[in-house]
Chain A
Amino acid sequence: AQTVTQSQPEMSVQEAETVTLSCTYDTSESDYYLFWYKQPPSRQMILVIRQEAYKQQNATENRFSVNFQKAAKSFSLKISDSQLGDAAMYFCAYRTPRDNYGQNFVFGPGTRLSVLP
Chain B
Amino acid sequence: DVKVTQSSRYLVKRTGEKVFLECVQDMDHENMFWYRQDPGLGLRLIYFSYDVKMKEKGDIPEGYSVSREKKERFSLILESASTNQTSMYLCASSPRGLGNQPQHFGDGTRLSIL
Contacts and interface: CB of A to CB of B under 8 A. Distances in A.
Contacts of A84: none
Contacts, number: 63
A91 B42 contact: yes
Contact of A95 (B58, B99, B108): B99
Contacts of B31: 101-103
B56 A50 contact: no
A113 B58 CA distance: 29
B102 A50 contact: yes
Given A47-B102, A50-B102, A105 B45 contact: yes
A44 B42 contact: no
B99 A97 contact: yes
Contact of B42 (A43, A95, A110): A110
A33 interface: yes
Contacts of A37: 102, 105
Contacts of B43: 91, 107
B12 interface: no
Interface residues of A, number: 26
Interface string B80-114: 00000000001000111101101101111000000
Interface of B: 30-31, 33, 35, 40-43, 45, 48, 50, 56, 58, 90, 94-97, 99-100, 102-103, 105-108
Given A101-B31, A103-B45, A105-B33, 14 more contacts: A44-B108, A45-B108, A46-B105, A96-B99, A100-B97, A101-B48, A101-B50, A102-B48, A102-B94, A102-B96, A102-B97, A103-B33, A103-B50, A105-B103
Q: Please list the 3 inter-chain residue pairs (A to B) with the smallest Cβ-Cβ separation, ordered nearest first.
A: A97-B99, A101-B50, A45-B105
